[in-house]
Each structure stands twice: as C-alpha cells, then as structure tokens.
Structure 1
C-alpha cells in the first residue's frame, strides 16, 4: 500500500499539491482495513511526502524535502564485502543502571536498567570496530538472543525495526580501554559513529562505534 502510494506520486499520477483519495476509498481499492491506510499515510506525512490537514484531506506535498538516508550496516557483511574474513568477540554483557547521558539521549527516566554490550568486531583476525551498545530490554524476546553467537548489531538489523533515529560522526583520541582492545597507542585517532534508534515512541538502542584507523565510510546520495 505504502509503496503504491509512493509509485503514484513519483509517476505524477498524483501531482504535487493534488488531493489524493480518501482513506475509505483507498481501503476499498486495496482491500485492506482503514487503519492500515491511515498508518501508511501518516508515515508518509511524517517523511514530508504528504500533507495532512483535518477536514481538508490529504495532499501530495508541493515541495517534498530532500532527505539523506543511511541504512544501518551489518558489520559482518561490511567486512566480508571488503574481501576479509569476519569474526567477533562479545567482551561484556550486563544489565545495569544506565548513566545519565545514555538515558537522556534515549529520552528515558534516570536510573533505568539497560543491557550494555561491548563487542569487538574483527577483519582477518585484526580489530576492526569496537562497539559499545546500550539496549532497551523491552525490545528483546523471551528467551533473549545469544549475543555471543550473533552480534547485537546483526540481530537488531534483522529483527527489530526502527522508524526514527539520529546519528553523529566525529573523531576522537583512543581512551586507554579503547587502545588496549584495538591494539593501538593511547591517544590514537579513531573514527567515531554515535547512533540512536526508536520504534515510534519506544527507544531501541544507542551505540558508540569506534573504528580502527584506516576505516573509510561510504554512502550513496
């Protein structure tokens, strides 16, 4: 349903500024519940493709925003795509009270317990990436995954959807802990990615990724 609405907009079947059919009409056309239509249109409105006004209907936005998108990569596939052998070690896993900067970043109450996971990803047996992740236990099934067998990164990409997120890139000097784990001199320059994701109003995870020197980020615009 959502894909077909986008197709019609991109094909100019529904031109910019045009009023699109009502939810009732679309539900009848696609043979689905009105709630399904409402959800799809709401999501498209949130991305700026549609404009919805109460009692005025839904229109195609006149000037849809140009937004960059960045898919969350599976580190294993990223390493293997470089022609290298992948491996990882779960260094630490514990449920504990998250520090204030973490709960604040996720919009959670202070003192809440989250699952902290520290994982070292390897490329050809050498340190590639140190992942320090805080994970909301509310998104985990029972029983929880074995994060020593599958990395939290790969499991989350495959099993937990996200609707919004934020990401920041920076450079930082390796701390004593990072230097020891990555096999570097303390103070070595690291490429840092900090990312947080939510499934609607439910915080999913926040993670700090410290890449070993020589990492190069590529994306498509």
Structure 2
C-alpha cells in the first residue's frame, strides 16, 4: 500500500478483509489494537475504528470492550436491503418508467391488515393501489395501506405526478422495517392488472415500516414471475 492509500478508509478496510480472508488473521485470533494499526496504516485512529466497526457489522470481526477485537470463528455475511424507489430501480436497469394510479381513497382496513401492522383494531387508513411499468410492460403492482396517524400529510396527496412509493420514501423516514419475500399465484384481479393468467406464478414482497411505536405503512408488491431481485453481501 502506498502512503496515500494507507490513509484511505476503503483501502484500510479492504486490506483488513484480505488478511481475514487469506487467514493472515486466523479465525478466533486477536488482531492488533487500533493504535498499532493506525501507526501501520499511517492514518488517524478514528479511521481504523470506522473500518473495524464496519467489518464487525458485517459479521467477520467480534469486538468486546476491554477484550479487544477478534476474527469471528464462524463469520456471518450480512445482506443489506434498502427501500427502493421503483422509478430509480427501473431507470437503473435502462427501462422507461411509468406508473398508473388505480385507486386512492380512505377506507377501513380489514382486521387482517390491522393485525399485520401490529394494531389492536381495524381503523380508517389511506388505501392506494398503483401499477409500475417498465417500457410499457407491468413491472410491479403496489397495494398499499398507510396509517394516517403516522403520516397525516399524505391524506390530501393526489399522486398525479409521484407514486406513493416515491412519496413515502422521500417524505416519511422509518426507523424499522419487516420484509417478507415469497412466491404466490395471481388471483383474478392481480392477473388482470399484471397482464398474466390467473393462478400464474408471481413474486411477492410484503413490507411493514415503522416509526417508534407506530406503523407507517403495509405494502404488498406483486411482480410477474420473470422478476429478479439482486442484493450484495
């Protein structure tokens, strides 16, 4: 590593990861302390700390106060998901994005929806349905319930120029999310919206987001069977 590279956080993290992968630092081994590493890499101790923290979050290091940092005996790899803006997702793949608003109204949620969102009883919520398209072809059917107590400002939104997905991602930050991925078959309504045959296989993502002690939204996103989701470890 050059002197300049030693000061790069990404280069330091990559070098540490290399030592772990190549067993220079063996599983279970106690690695040098932050002060020693900062001298070796020619950088601030805070830069070393940041690299160690990220590797610990990734499951390859175990850090214990007063006991030092050890290489994990059984490293766990962590997949990170972000709440995507569907428009950006489609455009990143080179597609032309469109969305169609199918319905937008306040109605009483079913007991099943209330339970899914962790609410004690059913209540009035904003129910929004829309279809996202890529190059004119159905990409995702979005069926969403929004807790108006958590996001009162969404009540008057028409979604004429912005999808509910993009509006919530940009206007309503969340602190916690629960995501379920599963295969399913299209019912009559879903098949008609997605342009597939009834009972065709579909890929379904269900997501609930929360702010402390309060659910924001429950959304069911249904894709044609050709859909592929890619993440990184």
The SS at the match of 2:153 is coil
**CA–CA distance in structure 2, aligned partners of residues 191 and 7 of structure 1:** 42
1:66-117 Cα shifts (integer Å, max 9, x gaps): 6543101110011111111100011011111111111111111312111111
CA distance in 1, matches of 2:96, 2:178: 30
Cα distance per residue 1:3-37 (max 9 Å; x no partner): xxx96743559x93337xxxxxxxxxxxxxxxxxx
Match of 1:160 in 2: 172
Distance 1:142 1:122, change over 3 A: closer
Q: Distance in 2 between matches of 1:176 and 1:60?
A: 59
User: In the alignment, what sits opposite 1:99?
Assistant: 110
Q: Deviations 1:164-210 (Å, cap 9, x if unpaired)?
A: 11111111111000111111111111000011110111210011000
Equivalent in 52, 58, 63 of residue 16 of structure 1: 63
Shift of 1:60: 9.6
- For 2:122 and 2:65, how far apart are their aligned partners in 1? 49
Distance 1:60 1:145 in 2: 52
Which of these residues, 114, 119, 138, is aligned with residue 127 of structure 1? 138
5+ residue gaps, structure 1, are 1-5, 20-58
Show structure 2 runs of 5+ residues with no match.
1-45, 54-61
Q: Is the 8 A contact 1:88 1:151 kept in 2?
A: yes
Once residues 192 and 218 of structure 1 are traced to their aligned partners in structure 2, the CA distance between those partners, rounded to angstroms, is: 14
Distance 1:96 1:60 in 2: 55
User: Structure 2 length as normaliser, TM-score?
Assistant: 0.68
Q: Is it true that 1:180 corresponds to 2:192 in the alignment?
A: yes
1:144 positional shift: 3.2
In structure 1, how many angstroms separate the alpha carbons of the residues matched to 2:201 and 2:110?
25
Match of 2:161 in 1: 149
Preserved contact between residue 84 and residue 123 of structure 1 (Cα < 8 Å): yes
* Equivalence map 1:106-117=2 (5 Å): 106-117=117-128
Aligned to 2:222: 210
For the residue of structure 1 that corresponds to 2:157, the secondary structure is coil
- Match status 1:192 vs 2:204: yes
* Structure 1 contact 9–60 (Cα < 8 Å) conserved: no
CA distance in 2, matches of 1:125, 1:203: 33
Q: Structure 1 length as normaliser, TM-score?
A: 0.71
Q: Secondary structure at the match of 2:116?
A: helix
Measure, in 1, the Cα distance between the counterparts of 2:68 and 2:157. Answer: 42
